[in-house]
Amino acid sequence: MREVVKREIISPIAVADECLSYSSRRLEDRTVWREQWFDRVRTTLENCDLVFIDPDNGLCQNDRFNIGVSKNWKRLPLNEARSLSEGRMAIIYHHNSRFKGGHAAENLYWSEQLETCSFAVRFRAYSARTFFVLNADAKATAAAKSWVSCMGEKAEFVLGANGT
C-alpha cells in the first residue's frame, strides 16, 4: 500500500499499515494485542467507502488462525475480512496456495466463504494471486471486466458467490 500511495495511484483517505510483528510480544499477550490492533484498523477506516485489504499471505479460516504461529502474522482470518468489508466495497488480496483442487477451486471456496463477494480477479503473472471484490457496484464490475480484457491471458474475471 505504501508504494500505491507513494506513486499517487490513489489518494487514500486513511491508511492502516501498522506492522504486525509479534516478535517482541509474549505469546500470552498476542491475542489481546491482535484484538487492539484490529480495533485501531477498524477505527481508522470507519469512514471509508472502499477498503483495500492486503494480508501478505491471504485469507485463512478462523479456526486455522493461531496467534502463536508466526506464519499467521501475514494472514487475515475470515471474520476480520467480513468485518472490514461490512457496508462498503472491499478488495481483498489473496495469495493463492496449494489448495486441493487447484486455484479455481480455491477461489470458488473463498468466494463462497466471503458471502458478499461480487467477483474476483485472478492474476497469473509471476505468481498466482486473486483479488476478491466484495459489495461491488455495476461501475466497479464493468471497470474490472474491462481491465481483465486488456490483460489477456494474465488475468481472469470470475463471478463471485453473490452473483453481481
Which is nearest to 89 in space by CA: 122, 50, 32, 55? 50
Which is nearest to 38 in space by CA: 11, 65, 63? 65
Mean pLDDT of 12-40: 77
pLDDT at 12: 67
φ, ψ at 134 (rounded to 5°) = -105, 145
Contact 72, 89 (CB under 8 A): no
Q: Are strands 59-60 and 129-134 parallel, antiparallel or unpaired?
A: unpaired
Any idea how long the chain is? 164
Q: What is the pLDDT of residues 59-68, one digit of tens each?
A: 999 998 887 7
The three-state DSSP-derived secondary structure of the chain is: CHHHHHCCCCCCCCCCCCCCCCCCCCHHHHHHHHHHHHHHHHHHHCCCCEEEECCCCCEECHHHCCCCCHHHHHCEEHHHHHHHHCCCEEEEEEECCCCCCHHHHHHHHHHHHHCCEEEEEEECCCCCEEEEEECCCHHHHHHHHHHHHHHHHHEEEEECCCCC
* Mean pLDDT for the chain overall: 84
pLDDT at 126: 76
pLDDT at 70: 72
Please determine, for residue 78, whether its predicted confidence score (pLDDT) is greater than 90.
Answer: yes
In order of 2, 48, 105, 112, 150, the CA distances from 123 in angstroms are 21, 26, 15, 19, 12
Please determine, for residue 48, whether its predicted confidence score (pLDDT) is greater than 60.
Answer: yes
- Percent of the chain topping pLDDT 90: 32
Give CA–CA dist 71/55, Å, rounded.
11
21 falls in which pLDDT band (50, 70, 90)?
low
> What pTM did the predictor assign?
0.85
Please determine, for residue 130, whether its predicted confidence score (pLDDT) is greater than 70.
Answer: yes
Q: Domain map of the chain by residue range?
A: 49-164
